[in-house]
């Protein structure tokens, strides 16, 4: 792999100076011949001032992703150092706790753009979002095996659509990966399918929000809309919910939710799982609930989708507010990065106005702390959550 120096055009360095790790191809002057995916690249300003060191991906709009590190460190040294720091941070937080699943590496937030690793007990789920990291995969695996105690498996999920045949999903370390991996969260039992589940297997970024719902669930009837594998449902029952209904369109997800309830001995007639459309369920008259959890999938793949996404969010939250009695609670979340916090909050104001319900904000939440965000990378601040109380 070659090493190149890439020069920015004039006035294109400001985002990098703030700590943004992405360098787009159109921000650079003429590219050197032979530039290839996986190459190491030193990026400099139009005056030649050093701005960062990263790896190249010629098939991506993001031509270079900068890896955090000290001056004089090679790219491999930086990757090893940032991995070591990310692992140390999580082990210090979760070692000996009643939670054995957490994000071990959060890409740009850990100074390692393009790399996401989640831990589930003695297994890791790894994703590369750029083929530029492919040549360093062996280094990454060696570091993980050496530094993560009790590690038995590393499973790779393929998130790069243009990946070559040798860059697909598969077992990177260990043998005979079980179909289900069991883990704990806040003392509760869960299982996940690393090979076929969404994301890396479980929505770990909502961990603290599940605990928030758990604290407010006592004595309440809870509807978990877009319930996926039942994480919020299990938390609500553990918190004392007297009735739960888990809604999702995907029947395989509900099968997993049923298994997670059974692991905690929560299964029973009071805790129903139902395949249904979220819009149709919330809009239809029916059973009353005291707490609704609304955690839909991402609504916008690009900025052009934002107006339509806000309309969809408005309808969902308007209908949820109308279903709640006085004193009822709504925990509503958005994982759509293109929909910013202020726009989502204004949508909630308008939904409450249209529903003619006075609404109070009890809590505003974000990602769990194992999902750090670089201050200079606002795209990393995608998750928004609001716990609302409905008045008279």
Residue pLDDT tens, the chain, 392 long = 678 999 999 999 999 999 999 999 999 998 999 999 999 999 999 999 999 999 999 999 999 999 999 999 999 999 999 999 999 999 999 987 899 999 999 999 999 999 999 999 999 999 999 999 999 999 999 999 999 999 999 999 876 655 444 456 799 999 999 999 999 999 999 999 998 776 656 899 999 999 999 999 999 999 999 999 999 999 999 999 999 999 999 999 999 999 999 999 998 999 999 999 999 999 998 899 999 999 999 888 899 999 999 999 999 999 999 999 999 999 999 999 999 999 999 999 999 999 999 999 999 999 889 999 999 999 999 999 999 999 87
| Alpha carbons 340 and 26: distance in angstroms, whole number | 26
Do 222 and 266 belong together in one domain? Answer: yes
Summary count for the chain: helices (H), strands (E) = 9, 19
Query: What is the domain-level CATH number for residue 282?
Result: 3.40.50.150
Beta strands 329-334 and 243-248 are unpaired
| Alpha carbons 392 and 298: distance in angstroms, whole number | 31
Do 158 and 253 belong together in one domain? Answer: no
Beta partners for residue 115, in sequence order: 128
Do 12 and 83 belong together in one domain? Answer: no
Query: What is the domain-level CATH number for residue 49?
Result: 2.30.130.10
Do 148 and 43 belong together in one domain? Answer: no
Do 80 and 60 belong together in one domain? Answer: no
Q: Tell me, yes or no, whether 279 lies in a domain.
A: yes
Domain boundary (178, 211, 231) is at 178
Residue range(s) defining the domain that contains residue 88: 75-178
For 255, the 3-state DSSP assignment is helix
Q: Tell me, yes or no, whether 129 lies in a domain.
A: yes
Element (H, E) at 334: strand 329-334
Query: Which residues, other chains included, contact 162 with Cβ-Cβ below 8 Å and sequence gap of 6+?
Result: 59, 131
Do 359 and 218 belong together in one domain? Answer: yes
Q: Tell me, yes or no, whether 219 lies in a domain.
A: yes
Do 14 and 85 belong together in one domain? Answer: no
Q: Which of 224, 226, 232, 217 is nearest to 250 (CA)?
A: 226
End-to-end CA distance of the chain: 66
Q: How many residues are listed for the chain in this entry?
A: 392
Do 56 and 128 belong together in one domain? Answer: no
Q: Tell me, yes or no, whether 185 lies in a domain.
A: no
For 71-85, b where at least 16 C-beta lie within 10 A, e where not — what string?
eeeebeebbbbbbee
Q: Which of 133, 114, 117, 115 is nearest to 125 (CA)?
A: 117
Do 62 and 80 belong together in one domain? Answer: no
């Amino acid at each position: 792999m070659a090493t190149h120096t890439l020069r920015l055009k004039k006035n294109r360095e400001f985002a990098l100076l703030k700590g943004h790790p992405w360098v787009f191809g159109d921000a650079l002057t003429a590219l050197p011949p032979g530039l290839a995916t996986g190459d190491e690249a030193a990026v400099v300003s139009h005056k030649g001032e050093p701005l960062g060191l990263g790896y190249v991906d010629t098939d991506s709009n993001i031509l270079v992703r900068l890896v955090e590190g000290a001056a004089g460190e090679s790219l491999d040294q930086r990757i090893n150092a940032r991995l070591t720091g990310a692992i140390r941070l999580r082990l210090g937080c979760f070692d000996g706790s009643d939670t054995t699943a957490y994000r071990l590496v959060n890409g740009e937030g850990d100074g390692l753009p393009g790399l996401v690793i989640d831990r589930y007990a003695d297994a890791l789920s790894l994703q590369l979002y750029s083929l530029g990291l492919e040549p360093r995969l062996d280094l990454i695996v060696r570091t993980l095996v050496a530094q993560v105690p009790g590690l038995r498996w590393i499973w790779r999920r393929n998130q790069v659509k243009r990946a070559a045949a040798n860059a697909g999903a598969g077992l990177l370390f260990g043998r005979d990966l079980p179909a289900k991996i069991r883990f704990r969260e806040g003392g509760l039992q869960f299982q996940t399918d690393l090979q076929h589940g969404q994301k890396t297997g479980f929505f770990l970024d909502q961990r603290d929000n599940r605990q928030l719902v758990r604290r407010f669930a006592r004595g309440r009837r809870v509807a978990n809309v877009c319930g996926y594998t039942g994480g919020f449902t299990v938390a609500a029952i553990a918190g004392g919910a007297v009735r739960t209904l888990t809604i999702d369109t995907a029947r395989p997800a509900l099968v997993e939710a049923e298994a997670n309830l059974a692991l905690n001995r929560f299964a029973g007639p009071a805790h129903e799982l139902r395949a249904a459309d979220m819009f149709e369920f919330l809009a239809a008259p029916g059973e009353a609930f005291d707490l609704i959890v609304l955690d839909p999938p991402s609504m916008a793949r690009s900025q052009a989708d934002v107006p339509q996404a806000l309309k969809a969010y408005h309808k969902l939250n308007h209908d949820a507010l109308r279903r709640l009695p006085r004193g009822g609670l709504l925990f509503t979340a958005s994982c759509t990065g293109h929909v910013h916090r202020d726009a989502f909050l204004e949508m909630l104001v308008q939904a409450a106005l249209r529903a003619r319900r006075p609404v109070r904000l009890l809590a505003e939440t974000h990602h769990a702390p194992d999902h750090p965000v670089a201050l200079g990378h606002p795209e990393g601040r995608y998750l928004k959550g609001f716990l609302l109380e409905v008045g008279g």
